[in-house]
Amino acid sequence: MNPFFILLALFFIVPIIEIYLLIEIGSIVGPFLTIFLVVFTAVLGAWLLRMQGFSTLNRVRQTLARGGVPATEILEGAMLLIAGALLLTPGFFTDTIGFLCLLPSIRRPIALWGIQRIFRFPKSPNAGEGRRHGSQSNKSNIIEGEYRREDDH
């Protein structure tokens, strides 16, 4: 499906859901409590976002200190940015999605899934033939060689 149509649908569907929920919740608890809840969820979300952001930043530092690549942590940071935008948007639907993005037990598997999707390499038509016949493919990306450092004399 075309990403443009997905975004267009989101720009129409999400506000309709938000307005519906605001009207329904406002009719149950009253307008002042509804406004208070919208502001409270934004403040609570900002506080939780700050805590999760520092936690993710510390994991980035630890991964870099071990010499690893913090790919998962970077995607989690991007999800935290999205969560922050959703939590600051007035409404209960976006707040729910934003709070879900703040949960590490949900955020981490989504980030891992994203990494697997990003780094999926295209397969050539004859990719599996070498394994089936027990021989290696003629097209190898390995270059063997030797090197020496010039300053080791």
Q: What is the pLDDT of residues 52-104, one digit of tens each?
A: 999 999 999 999 999 988 888 898 999 999 999 999 889 999 999 999 998 98
**Residue 123 · residue 137 · CB < 8 Å:** no
87 located within any domain: yes
Q: Report the number of distinct structural domains present in the chain.
A: 1
Q: Within a domain: residue 94?
A: yes
The residue that leads in pLDDT, 138 or 40, is 40
The mean per-residue pLDDT over the stretch 29-46 comes to: 93
Q: Determine, yes or no, domain membership for 146.
A: no
Is 55 contained in some domain? yes
What's the pLDDT at 140?
67
Residue type at 104?
P
Query: Does a structural domain hold residue 138?
Result: no
In a domain, 130, yes or no: no
Q: Is 143 helix (H, G, I), strand (E, B) or coil?
A: coil
Per-residue pLDDT, 138: 53
pLDDT at residue 124 in the model: 47
The residue range of the domain holding 114 is: 3-120
- Tokens for 149? 């450092």
pLDDT at 121 over 80: no
Does residue 49 lie within any of the structural domains?
yes
For residue 122, the model assigns a pLDDT of: 55
In a domain, 44, yes or no: yes
Name which residue leads in pLDDT, 21 or 142.
Answer: 21
- Tell me which residue of 59, 91, 99, 87 sits closest to 75, measured CA to CA: 59
Band (139; pLDDT cuts 50, 70, 90):
low
Torsion of CA 82, 85, 91, 96, to 10 degrees: 30
The predicted model scores a pTM of 0.69
Label residue 50 by pLDDT band (50, 70, 90). very high
- d(Cα 110, Cα 116) in Å, to the nearest integer? 10
Give the model's pLDDT for residue 112: 86
